[in-house]
A and B are shown apart, each in its own frame.
Chain A
Amino acid sequence: MARTLITLPAQIRRDEVIEVRTLVAHPMETGYRPGADGKVLPRDLIRRFSCTFDDGVTKDLVFSAELFAAISANPFLAFPLRATSGGTLIFVWEGDNGFRQAETVALRLA
């Protein structure tokens, strides 16, 4: 279990474009860096991220990302979303060594 931080605006009006901000605790080890013993540390990256919106009827992909070694540790991603209706946001991070972290956040309109 990795810690995640997902931030939505406190008040969301219908059809407003909001910024969704996500952060996940992960070392993003590049596989190019030597460790304390001089040996190169094995690569351990988050490879994919996706955010899906479920309004109870259909599931739409909002945003997806493919991440590489050049993304900083504890990957931060912020992206826009048009809030047309209330529903659920599903966030999934997937990576090396079978890493998978899923979170759901309710999207409520004011």
Chain B
Amino acid sequence: MDCTGPTRRQAIASFAVLLSPAADAAVWPADLAAAVAAFTRSAPLREGRVTLEIAELVDNGNAVPLSLSVQSPMTPADHVVAVAVFNERNPQREVALFGFGPRSARAQVSTRIRLATSQKLVAVARMNDGSCWSRTVDVIVTIAACIEGES
């Protein structure tokens, strides 16, 4: 080929970059980004260290088991101060905020949450040195919470 514009192969490659998960933070809605920034105190967010365990396909959004853990030695010099969970499409962006003390041997917590619809979940951990780590997970919900009234 002797054309000077982008080849079809290059064009496909550039689309692949746009769709890659690394671009997640850039495609968050403004209110989600604002809620996360309020927790991180505008520290740069890095992907990793946080594990967020939740079913990818959720039958019932009223009680979805969620457990999260953060890779950290939990020593006085290096520990997790707090972990927050945010969502993309519930009425309110915050899900929960967890704080750990010196007696927490591991930064780990399990709970049950509500999900209004299929959406992204973001877990953010704040370390004692101020750095913030995150993990984003997509979940598909078939029966939503918060929609139906009392029967």
Contacts and interface: CB of A to CB of B under 8 A. Distances in A.
Given A32-B146, A33-B150, A36-B149, A81 B103 contact: yes
The bracket for how many chain B residues form the interface is 35 or more
B91 A72 contact: no
B101 A61 contact: yes
Contact of B108 (A32, A33, A76, A80): A80
Interface string A29-69: 01011111010010000000000010000001111111111
Interface residues of A, number: 33
Interface string A12-39: 0000010000000000001011111010
Given A33-B146, A68-B94, A78 B114 contact: no
Contacts of B37: none
A95 interface: no
A77 B101 contact: no
B113 A70 contact: yes
A71 to B, nearest CB: 6
A82 B112 CA distance: 23
B67 to A, nearest CB: 8
Contacts of A84: 103
B102 A75 contact: no
A69 to B, nearest CB: 5
Contacts of A73: 62-63
Contacts of B151: 36
Interface in B73-109: 87, 90-92, 94-106, 108-109
A23 to B, nearest CB: 10
A63 B90 contact: no
B128 interface: no
